[in-house]
Structure 1
Amino acid sequence: MPLFGKSDTFSENPDVRQVEKMIAKEAREDQKNLDHTIKDLSGAEKTHNQSIKTADKAQHALDKAVENEHKAAKALNRAVHNHDAAISNEQNAEKTVQIKQQHETRLEQDLEQKRRHLNELQQRKAQNDQLRETKLSQIHAQAAAAADARSASFDNNGQRATVGGAPPATAAGAPSAPVTGAGGALKA
């Protein structure tokens, strides 16, 4: 039986079928959370890459503004006004670079946090998948053992046989199928 998604091969035992459906639902929810986190990480990476390009453009603008300031300084006697304008552009470009670099740093930290979160979710999902597989194996093994015990308790004439002198389990009032408690755990 597949662990994920819907299946028409659920067990015929209603208790086992209910646990199987609950486990399949948990698996779908885990997958949905994982997909959402991957999408968030992809968006954060795209934004981070854009911020790197923007910061690079701002750095180029700063370099150009510095070059313009030097040209204006050489022509100071002729164009004091141009020199002041270039200084102003340089200051604005420096502020822009600082803002873009701060933004890049914040995005990088956010990206790293999202990567850690994704890793944690992947590890948690893997653990949950393993637990679900173990539960399903135990439930199927117990259901098979109960079915074998029921079929072994009948002799060739269709009469119940007692094993070891003990009366049949259903005659003593015990249920013939495994009983599950809160959270789907099997009770003895």
Structure 2
Amino acid sequence: MNWIPEYNFILASKSPRRQELLKSLGIDFQVKTKEVDEIYPPELAPAKIPGYLAEKKANAFADELNNNDMLITADTIVVLNGKVLEKPDDYDHAYEMLSALSGNMHEVITGVCLSSTNKSVTFSALTNVQFKKLTAAEIDYYITNFKPFDKAGAYGIQEWIGSIGISHIEGSFYNVMGLPLQKLYEEIQKF
């Protein structure tokens, strides 16, 4: 029995992590991307930002979907004490972010939008992530060797820093990587 509905799946994401995660669900899909500015209204609550951005990315494809297409768009943010940590600009910015995350619990929120020609559903997932107190040498080693400049909060949970630095999480591990797989599976089935 195949659980996958009969759609032509399109993942609108350049993220190799999202592509790898979607493959792990056994879904055949094609990747299509567009440049979409990731600007959101400043008054938007952090919990609403990823869904807003996932919908914004989906809207860029609105006129291009065919009858049997299902478009998947997503956005992930890291929130520390109510402040959104974007992708770092450079080494110093990444160092500053990881120093702030060190020894603290933060939230990772991923918003996902599923779209077809006649329907759209947006949902999000939240995972709490606890970092141990990181040393300056650990932070430097990670940034120098893994260059996490394409990652919200300046880290990838599946990389070295996650292995040595994260003491525990509450919620979906895959959500922290960029797609809440279990929730995505449920939502595709309901769609």
TM-score (norm 2): 0.19
Which of these two proteins has the greater Rg computed from alpha carbons? 1
Which structure has the highest strand share of the two? Answer: 2
Which structure has the highest helix share of the two? Answer: 1
